[in-house]
Chains A and B, each alone.
Chain A
Amino acid sequence: MSGLADLRLGFIPLTDCAPLIVARTLGLFAEEGLRVELNREAAWATIRDKVAVGALDGAHMLAPMTLAAGVSPDIAKPMIAPMALNANGSAITVSTALARALEEIDPVALAARPVTAAPLKALIDQRRRTGARLLTFAVVFPYSMHNYALRYWLAQAGVDPDRDVRLVVTPPPRMVEQLASGAIDGFCVGAPWNAVAAARGVGEILMKASQFWPGGPDKVFGVTADWAAGHADELRAALRALIRAAAWADDRANRDELVALLARPEHVGVDPAAIARALEGEIVFHRGAAGLPRRDHALWFLSQMARWGQVARDLDAEAVADRVYRLDLFRAAALSLGPVLDPTLVFADAAPAPSALFDGAAPTSPTA
């Protein structure tokens, strides 16, 4: 016995898996007494199932997956989110062909940033009159910030996401090729795929997550509620390592090293320039209390899940948010790190309140 606890953690090859990669590679897990094996997975459903059955102890997860667990019939095992892995990072990108068509309809709107879906609405109305096929947009998973951000963006301009466009699920690494081939006309996906599409000249970014909702939520570190209850020490140790890793990943002095680390084929495995782009002023891992699993974020997700019929409208959202988003566990781990961190970062009320969405709506209002 080495005295280290063994943990198996899963991740999807995306830029925002950085805290896990950094904690493992820099030996931060080991310093906290954990021997961690990182498993790269290809699908979110596989991550969820493996965590649910105990093949993985915890994983990089889409934040809404943890909220849906135990509520949706597809996810049986209750999960918790004791830490957010990043803020922002995703974006809505359309094919260059679609961007040109939107520009023709409304050059002023397309020159502005961010771009609302108003020109898209005009184009969809025009296409309907001529009997053209529905435009296809892809997201990465039904329970994802990407799905809700895209749907919100469409609906804000009067586009019905269930009737006026075709929404499909496509794995992130296939998004760019499908956009290039014309199989899809646009997508909402995490870094680095928007930057990859732009760099290859096949897509244009219309709205970044940091414009949609500055400081808005994205991925979390998720474990089952059962595992957390039986492994309180291991969980705290893992959170400490991940908090330190997130702080390291945010530090500009480490940027080049982080990019090189993530670009490795066994991690994200794409061109370092594309990874660097999203790290530049978009993804935040630690600053501004980005690691806090904020109740407001959970409530917004649940409101969107109800809005689009994924959960019942009479679901007790506050109870679900409190059960899943375990700010208390994050706070205890962060405080135990002492001087390593600015302690004010770990209190929700010490950090700025969630800002408004791009259309000025408050993310906590039920109609948002």
Chain B
Amino acid sequence: MRVLVIDPDPARAALVAEGLQGVDPLEVKQAAAFDEREVQAFAPDVVVIASDSPDRDTLESLREASQTNPRPVVMFVDRSEPGLAEQAVRAGVAAYVVDGLAPARVRPILDVAMSRFALTQQLRGDLAKAKADLESRRTVEKAKGLLMKERGLDEDGAYRLLRKLAMDKGRPIGSVAADLLAFANILKGDAS
């Protein structure tokens, strides 16, 4: 497991390392501030960051923007804010860890953060795929309608023609249908 701890204070990195004793292989790296190149090179499985670090916004934007290597983030919260950790975890905001926790709790918390993260990523992926599928089905329906009207085919015949085109070209049926509609629009003079 590769863990990056972003915190100017080496004590937290030491705590994390202590809590993860027995995990093999294990690499815990401490950085005072976020450095994109350093993070890319290290490729951590999880990032632990102090809640009072201004680098949180940068990490968060990477999570949002990059599909390439998003990673779960665990936050350390100051002990003077009782209840925040529990509330945050319950609200699903992020995995917060209260400062001063026992090393024995480190492992389960990182595990929870990583599995929660994997789940969110999967949900996002599923959602994007469901949207794309729906869009593709709508396009195919429209293309079918066009073929039925222009070529005098019945619904089944229109679908078979589309499928044949897709197989001949080795492309998904949705994109063949989209091309067909685009060309039809151009022929109608609507090139926008």
Per the bound structure, the CA–CA distance linking A54 and B90 in Å amounts to 12
User: How far in angstroms is the closest Cβ of chain B from A345?
Assistant: 33
- Contact A42:B64 (CB < 8 A) given known A49-B93, A50-B84: no
Question: Residues of A contacting B92 with CB < 8 Å?
Answer: 76
Binds B, one of A102-110, A168-176, A234-242, A286-294: A168-176
Per the bound structure, the CA–CA distance linking A141 and B96 in Å amounts to 21
B56's partner among A46, A54, A142 (CB-CB below 8 A) is A46
Cross-chain contact B81 with A45 (CB below 8 angstroms): no
Question: Residues of A contacting B55 with CB < 8 Å?
Answer: 43, 171
Q: Does A140 interact with chain B (Cβ within 8 Å)? A: yes
- Contact A171:B54 (CB < 8 A) given known A52-B91, A77-B91: yes
Cross-chain contact A42 with B56 (CB below 8 angstroms): yes
Interface residues of A in 27-67 (CB under 8 A from B): 41-46, 49-50, 52-55
User: How far in angstroms is the closest Cβ of chain B from A350?
Assistant: 37
Q: Does B87 interact with chain A (Cβ within 8 Å)? A: yes
B83's partner among A46, A49, A55 (CB-CB below 8 A) is A55
B57's partner among A52, A55, A73, A171 (CB-CB below 8 A) is A171
Per the bound structure, the CA–CA distance linking A45 and B60 in Å amounts to 8
Q: Does A74 interact with chain B (Cβ within 8 Å)? A: yes
B93's partner among A42, A52, A141 (CB-CB below 8 A) is A52
Could you tell me the dominant secondary structure of chain B's interface residues?
helix
Task: Encode contact with A along B34-74: 1 for CB under 8 Å, 0 otherwise.
Answer: 00100000000000000111111110111111000000000
Q: Does B94 interact with chain A (Cβ within 8 Å)? A: yes
Per the bound structure, the CA–CA distance linking A41 and B60 in Å amounts to 16
Question: Residues of B contacting A45 with CB < 8 Å?
Answer: 56-57, 60
Per the bound structure, the CA–CA distance linking A169 and B51 in Å amounts to 17
Question: Residues of B contacting A171 with CB < 8 Å?
Answer: 54-55, 57-58
Cross-chain contact B51 with A46 (CB below 8 angstroms): yes
User: How far in angstroms is the closest Cβ of chain A from B186?
Assistant: 23
Per the bound structure, the CA–CA distance linking A46 and B73 in Å amounts to 13
Measured as residues with beta carbon below 8 angstroms from the partner, the interface class of chain B is 20 to 34
Cross-chain contact A170 with B58 (CB below 8 angstroms): yes
Q: Does B138 interact with chain A (Cβ within 8 Å)? A: no
- Contact A53:B57 (CB < 8 A) given known A42-B52, A73-B124, A74-B64: no
B64's nearest neighbour on chain A, judged by CB, is A142
Cross-chain contact B53 with A142 (CB below 8 angstroms): no
Chain A: interface residue total (CB-CB under 8 A):
26
Per the bound structure, the CA–CA distance linking A94 and B35 in Å amounts to 21
User: How far in angstroms is the closest Cβ of chain A from B74?
Assistant: 13
- Contact A43:B83 (CB < 8 A) given known A76-B92, A142-B64: no
A171's nearest neighbour on chain B, judged by CB, is B54
Cross-chain contact B57 with A140 (CB below 8 angstroms): yes
- Contact A168:B61 (CB < 8 A) given known A53-B93, A54-B87: yes
Q: Does B88 interact with chain A (Cβ within 8 Å)? A: yes
Task: Encode contact with B along A2-42: 1 for CB under 8 Å, 0 otherwise.
Answer: 00000000000000000000000000000000000000011
Q: Which of A49, A74, A170, A172 has the most CB of B within 10 A?
A: A49
Per the bound structure, the CA–CA distance linking A268 and B52 in Å amounts to 15
B61's nearest neighbour on chain A, judged by CB, is A169
Cross-chain contact A43 with B88 (CB below 8 angstroms): no
Per the bound structure, the CA–CA distance linking A83 and B84 in Å amounts to 26
User: How far in angstroms is the closest Cβ of chain B from A315?
Assistant: 13
Task: Encode contact with B along A72-112: 1 for CB under 8 Å, 0 otherwise.
Answer: 01101100000000000000000000000000000000000
Q: Give 20 A-B contacts (CB < 8 Å), ordered by A residue.
A: A42-B52, A42-B53, A42-B54, A43-B54, A43-B55, A43-B56, A46-B51, A46-B52, A49-B88, A49-B93, A53-B84, A53-B93, A54-B87, A73-B120, A73-B124, A74-B63, A77-B91, A168-B61, A174-B33, A174-B54
> Ordered nearest first, which 10 A-B pairs have the shortest CB separation?
A171-B54, A169-B61, A43-B56, A53-B87, A42-B54, A55-B84, A45-B60, A49-B93, A43-B57, A45-B56
Q: Which residues of A contact B (CB under 8 A)?
A: 41-46, 49-50, 52-55, 73-74, 76-77, 140-142, 168-174
